[in-house]
Amino acid sequence: MAVASLEIYKILPGSNCGDCRHPTCLSFVNDLVFRGKKPDLCPHLSPADRRKINDLVRAGSPRKLESYGQVMFHPLETAIKRVQPLNFSYLSAVMNEGSVYHANDNSITLPFLNTKLTVTKEKTVDAAGDPLPPGFQTAVYNYLATVEKIHPENQWVSFKELPGAVFLSSYFVNNVEGLVSAQFATRPEQLVAAARSLGGNILDDPAISPADVKISFFVVPKITVRLLFWDGTEEDNLPAVATFLFNTGIYRLDLESLTYLVEELVKRMIATL
């Protein structure tokens, strides 16, 4: 089914426009594959593309969503429902690392990179008080719903090595890591400056990796990622390569939410150029 899901995703426009009432095209794929929704909900598909998707869905075999270690697609409304029974005061204590609970409005101040988010059980806003995009809010609520089960370990793996990453690995390599490679090729100094502007720490230990640039990012409490960057060389015709490493203890967070959080990190680095 993972192969069919990937093929369906390739047919969709990939614009995350929300016209199908899903926060991302990936969440729409989930409803097509796992919940029997119809491709007609996407107004940007041609009749031929809709037929292709229907054929791919029929060719797959039924499969249940995993509770963790797989891709879990949730519309924002579903993600918000996940946190309704949770005790925000307790979660803030579990997260620690700069998280602050506010009893007056039952909210949490949540560190994200070098800024702060304010999370209530109704919405998540940025430091200026503006609501986050639906996909970003979905990732935050999914994170809160699983943070108690996240236990960081000192073992680092690539995205494709995380449990259940088969479906999203191609997307992550091409559209997340690939974006870093393309934007910062021949500009490692600007990569370092962009990382520092977001609170990233430059790692000098050669035992970590022989990469040209090694950076550690605190994304949210309990989730730190590393970025390894090898700059390209014209004489050898080698392209720049970027790879994110993840602590193996974070596998309880669903992979779409993890992808969204790292995508937001990459977007903010590129915005500094």
pLDDT of residue 63: 40
Say which amino acid occupies 252.
R
**Local structure of 127: helix, strand or coil:** coil
The answer to whether the beta carbons of residues 145 and 83 sit under 8 Å apart is: yes
| CATH number of the domain encompassing residue 207 | 3.30.310
CA 139 – CA 215 distance, rounded (Å): 23
Q: Which of 117, 149, 181 is the last residue of a domain?
A: 149
Q: Which of 88, 123, 149 is the last residue of a domain?
A: 149
Q: Which of 12, 32, 59 is the last residue of a domain?
A: 59
Q: Which domain holds residue 127?
A: 76-149
pLDDT of residue 66: 37
Q: What's the pTM?
A: 0.75
3-state secondary structure 229-243: EECCECCCCECCEEE
> CA angle, corner 228, sides to 209 and 138, nearest 5?
135
- Written as six digits, the tokens of 107 are 């909210």
Same domain, yes or no: 262 and 173: yes
Which residues fall within 8 angstroms of residue 27, CB to CB, at 6 or more apart?
A: 73, 74, 75, 138, 256
**Local structure of 69: helix, strand or coil:** coil
pLDDT of residue 130: 95
CA 113 – CA 193 distance, rounded (Å): 15
Same domain, yes or no: 163 and 264: yes
Same domain, yes or no: 131 and 221: no
Same domain, yes or no: 170 and 230: yes
**Local structure of 162: helix, strand or coil:** coil
Total tally of structural domains belonging to the chain: 3
**Local structure of 214: helix, strand or coil:** strand
Same domain, yes or no: 163 and 266: yes
φ/ψ of 43, rounded to 5, equals: -75, -5
Same domain, yes or no: 171 and 259: yes
Is position 70 within any domain? no
| CATH number of the domain encompassing residue 46 | 1.10.15.40
pLDDT tens over the chain, length 273 residues: 344 666 787 888 877 787 887 767 777 877 777 667 789 999 999 999 999 988 887 765 444 333 333 444 556 888 899 999 999 999 999 999 999 999 999 999 999 999 999 999 999 999 999 999 888 898 999 999 999 999 988 899 999 998 888 778 888 898 899 999 999 999 999 999 999 999 999 999 999 999 999 999 999 999 999 999 999 876 767 899 999 999 988 888 888 889 989 999 999 999 998
The answer to whether the beta carbons of residues 29 and 19 sit under 8 Å apart is: no
Is position 66 within any domain? no
